Structure 1
Amino acid sequence: MIAALRSVFLACAVMTAAGSASGNGSDITYTVASFDDLDGWAADDHAAAFDTFLNTCADFDDPDWSSLCAVAQTHSRETARSFFELFFRPVLIQDGKDAMFTGYFEPELEGSRVPTSRFRYPVYKMPPEAKASNPWLSRREILTSGVMDNRGLEIAWVDDPVELFFLQIQGSGRIRLTNGSTVRVGYGGANGHSYRSIGVELVRRGVYSAHQVSAQVIKNWVRRNPTAGVELLLHNPSYVFFREVRRVSSADGPLGAMNRSVTAMRSIAVDPAFTPLGAPVWVEKDGAGKMRRLMIAQDTGSAIKGAQRADIFFGTGDAAGQAAGRLRDPGRMLVLLPIQQAYALLPDGF
């Protein structure tokens, strides 16, 4: 398999081709590029991307990907760039929508294992009836009907309902307890209702213009307007439940969609309808803080839809959250596919 891939690479090294297919109600185009077409490719830290790739490549089921993972394990960090260039081809996948990069992070909240006058807002596990019903109760019904009371579904209690709301948006996080220990929580399910943006709602009400809205702006508004703020949070009927994550080291990132830790500034969330989970992806993010970097598609998100849509993982804590919250930039992304698979996307194959 690897020898065949090497032969294909040598035969196609100077080719650039494009193809198209129809799917999901829109035309999807595939352009196979060369590494010389990637802006900033030579200057990147390929070894860092290589380490992140190795973290999840063993989970591939596809024979082409599995073979490449086996080869990767015979390479060193010093040969990371040549590994990617030899066995992959960059493919620009487009579905007619503009590219957009956003950011996400792992929040850190203050909390307690028992309720107190300070820690009054529970982080819930998913009740069994919610698993059996889709959709289940809305956010408002979950929080105001008493359906969750006295059932032992609380993982912990936190001190800020706004931070808890954004923990649900991120889907995972850490809770620092009063005794100095940390509880890590991950996505445990949802109530089945569609997410409704409270930022969009503030714009609709004329409170802010669209360009003014960010996570921090929303948090500040809710805290300045506690009664109206609680009602604003209830505007979103979607509700996320959590599970306690015990097997991940505190030094590692949260678990992504591949059930492996994601890596700050090297892992992205993608739409798996277009980008295989575990694939290397070359990111050319424009806008403020222009970014040219090889990342690995290790996560997904309910708002991450489209061939040119990605969410960049910024890390853990407030600084990461502030940086992630500011990101909403254009650019382009190219998926690195095994050579045979890249050229098989074209109408006439090789």
Structure 2
Amino acid sequence: MVHQINSRKSTSASRASRKISSMSLSLLRQIIVVAIVGVLTACGTRPPAPPVAEPSGEAGTLGPPRLGPLGGPLAVPGTLAGYRSRWVPVDWNDLPGWQQDAMHEAWQAWLRNCERPAPAFVPLCPEVRRLAIAGEEEQRAWMQQRLQPYRIEAQDGNLNGLLTSYFEPVLEGARVRGNGFEVPIYAPPPGLPAKQPWYTRQQIESDSQVQAQLAGRVIAWVRDPVQAMVLHIQGTGRLRLHEPDGSTRLVRLAYAATNNQPYQSVGRWLLDRGLVRDATWPGISAWAQSNPGRVQEMLWGNPRYVFFREEPLDGVAADEGPRGAQGVPLTPGRSIAVDRTSIPYGTPVWLVSEGPVVRLDRLVMAQDTGSAIVGAVRADYFAGSGDAAGALAGRLKQGLRLWALWPRQ
């Protein structure tokens, strides 16, 4: 997420420095710009969320959930107040671009919602499935009949927020170490504590005693520690895996656990040391090109480390994303990560973001979360997988407005 989006390496720091310094300029640019996805958006690694009870509505209603403590006056007459958000009922005409969205593109995400629907949406799922083959105007008319739009605001009434983006990187990997594949991707070690901090990234990558605890836990080897960091930031990725028999297959690396250390932005690491004046792509890229021997030091500035599990992609649709915190596969361009104390998983949301990177007026589904996705009007947009998705995710940081679409009483 899903998303300190939220690198593991068993070679020494000096070997890492020699490897990074030998990379071509063009490759380094591609790698670092993808790494800035996590730096600029701070979307956070997306661990699977534990099952939680759906927030309750007002007593005796099926209205939008009251996400904070029950009781007390409503913030505004006709408005439901939440712990981090309040929902203000509006007319469908208040949703910018509502009549222009391609409903059929969003319906796959609707169908996935119904694999694990929020209780309030359970009665609607048979109709959602039936309408999968309907025309867009019929789908739009059904939503207007069955759902009520609510403008989402912060408790102070601020309706403007922040949109960032995350994606699923695609890496080259090998089952056997060598030929340039030197950076390990680990499964969780035995006895990894669930809630207590384990060793830091630097200790995992440089301490032989710690590495001994990870013996036999290597899923695959990748070429570069910065690419591995990108994988850790996003919390999931696809691996083009070269097997010992010469065959190649595509697998998914899904989040399994972390070392429970705090996430630290490598961009912030550079700023705090006065090494760059701004942590944008041009600034960080220029610094990395001029200081290849310190890139490993920069990466160690983030103590958080992520462990993965391998999942087959045989028979999985090419555009099917990883499972988000709701427990359903994400849909590129139609799934978002949200603060679940403001918007429940499975809620259809009308999203408007006017640029400057890209204008978005579209129906999305709240299906994921991220450790840095906090606040009422806050979303992380799942862009998909691969280089194009990474390029968008690395640039997307712009204003946002949201409307929740909730079943009518």
3-state secondary structure, aligned to 2:231: helix
Q: Which residue of 1 aligns with 2:362?
A: 293
Query: d(CA) in 2 for partners of 1:143 and 1:299?
Result: 30
1:148 partner amino acid = Q
**Contact residue 186 and residue 254 of structure 1 kept, 8 A:** yes
Q: Which residue of 2 aligns with 1:271?
A: 339
RMSD: 2.3
Deviation at 1:256, TM superposition (A): 1.7
2:308 partner amino acid = F
Judged with a 3 Å threshold, the aligned counterparts in structure 2 of structure 1 residues 17 and 314 are, in CA distance, closer, same or farther, namely: farther
Q: Which residue of 1 aligns with 2:139?
A: 80
3-state secondary structure, aligned to 2:193: helix
3-state secondary structure, aligned to 1:74: helix
Judged with a 3 Å threshold, the aligned counterparts in structure 2 of structure 1 residues 101 and 209 are, in CA distance, closer, same or farther, namely: farther
Q: Which residue of 2 aligns with 1:240?
A: 306
Judged with a 3 Å threshold, the aligned counterparts in structure 2 of structure 1 residues 223 and 259 are, in CA distance, closer, same or farther, namely: farther
Alignment partner of 1:71 is 2:139? no
Q: Which residue of 1 aligns with 2:232?
A: 168
Q: Which residue of 1 aligns with 2:11?
A: none
Judged with a 3 Å threshold, the aligned counterparts in structure 2 of structure 1 residues 270 and 22 are, in CA distance, closer, same or farther, namely: closer
Q: Give the counterpart of 2:79 among 15, 19, 25.
A: 19
What is the TM-score normalised by the length of structure 2? 0.73
Deviation at 1:20, TM superposition (A): 5.4
Once the two structures are superposed, what CA deviation does each residue of 1:118-173 show, in whole Å capped at 9, x if it has no partner?
00000011113223451111111221223133621111000011010011010100
Deviation at 1:234, TM superposition (A): 0.7
Alignment partner of 1:48 is 2:48? no
Alignment partner of 1:195 is 2:263? yes
Deviation at 1:61, TM superposition (A): 4.8
Judged with a 3 Å threshold, the aligned counterparts in structure 2 of structure 1 residues 191 and 37 are, in CA distance, closer, same or farther, namely: same
**Contact residue 271 and residue 306 of structure 1 kept, 8 A:** yes
**Contact residue 89 and residue 338 of structure 1 kept, 8 A:** yes
Alignment partner of 1:134 is 2:201? no
Alignment partner of 1:259 is 2:318? no
Deviation at 1:221, TM superposition (A): 4.0
3-state secondary structure, aligned to 2:323: coil
Once the two structures are superposed, what CA deviation does each residue of 1:245-273 show, in whole Å capped at 9, x if it has no partner?
12671512222223322111111111111
The alignment-based identity, stated in percent, is: 38
What is the TM-score normalised by the length of structure 1? 0.85
Q: Which residue of 1 aligns with 2:297?
A: 231
**Contact residue 108 and residue 331 of structure 2 kept, 8 A:** no
Q: Which residue of 2 aligns with 1:103?
A: 165
Once the two structures are superposed, what CA deviation does each residue of 1:205-230 show, in whole Å capped at 9, x if it has no partner?
333344x514x864664455233110
**Contact residue 251 and residue 313 of structure 2 kept, 8 A:** no
3-state secondary structure, aligned to 2:109: helix
Q: Which moved more, 1:148-157 or 1:29-38?
A: 148-157
1:84 partner amino acid = M
**Contact residue 275 and residue 287 of structure 2 kept, 8 A:** no
Q: Which moved more, 1:32-41 or 1:82-91?
A: 82-91
Query: d(CA) in 1 for partners of 2:82 and 2:110?
Result: 30
3-state secondary structure, aligned to 1:245: strand
Judged with a 3 Å threshold, the aligned counterparts in structure 2 of structure 1 residues 247 and 67 are, in CA distance, closer, same or farther, namely: farther
**Contact residue 87 and residue 153 of structure 2 kept, 8 A:** yes
Query: d(CA) in 1 for partners of 2:271 and 2:260?
Result: 25
Query: d(CA) in 2 for partners of 1:174 and 1:291?
Result: 26
**Contact residue 58 and residue 66 of structure 1 kept, 8 A:** no
Where in structure 2 are there 5+ consecutive unaligned residues?
A: 1-62, 64-75
Query: d(CA) in 2 for partners of 1:208 and 1:35?
Result: 46
Q: Which residue of 2 aligns with 1:12?
A: none
3-state secondary structure, aligned to 1:102: strand
Judged with a 3 Å threshold, the aligned counterparts in structure 2 of structure 1 residues 132 and 280 are, in CA distance, closer, same or farther, namely: closer
Judged with a 3 Å threshold, the aligned counterparts in structure 2 of structure 1 residues 121 and 223 are, in CA distance, closer, same or farther, namely: farther
Query: d(CA) in 1 for partners of 2:169 and 2:181?
Result: 17
Q: Which moved more, 1:276-285 or 1:172-181?
A: 172-181
Query: d(CA) in 2 for partners of 1:258 and 1:46?
Result: 22
For this pair of structures, how many residues does the alignment match?
320
3-state secondary structure, aligned to 1:302: coil
Where in structure 1 are there 5+ consecutive unaligned residues?
A: 1-7, 9-15, 341-350
Alignment partner of 1:332 is 2:401? yes
1:333 partner amino acid = L
3-state secondary structure, aligned to 2:79: strand
Alignment partner of 1:30 is 2:93? no
Q: Give the counterpart of 1:154 among 210, 218, 240.
A: 218
Query: d(CA) in 2 for partners of 1:218 and 1:104?
Result: 19
Q: Give the counterpart of 2:151 among 89, 92, 95.
A: 92
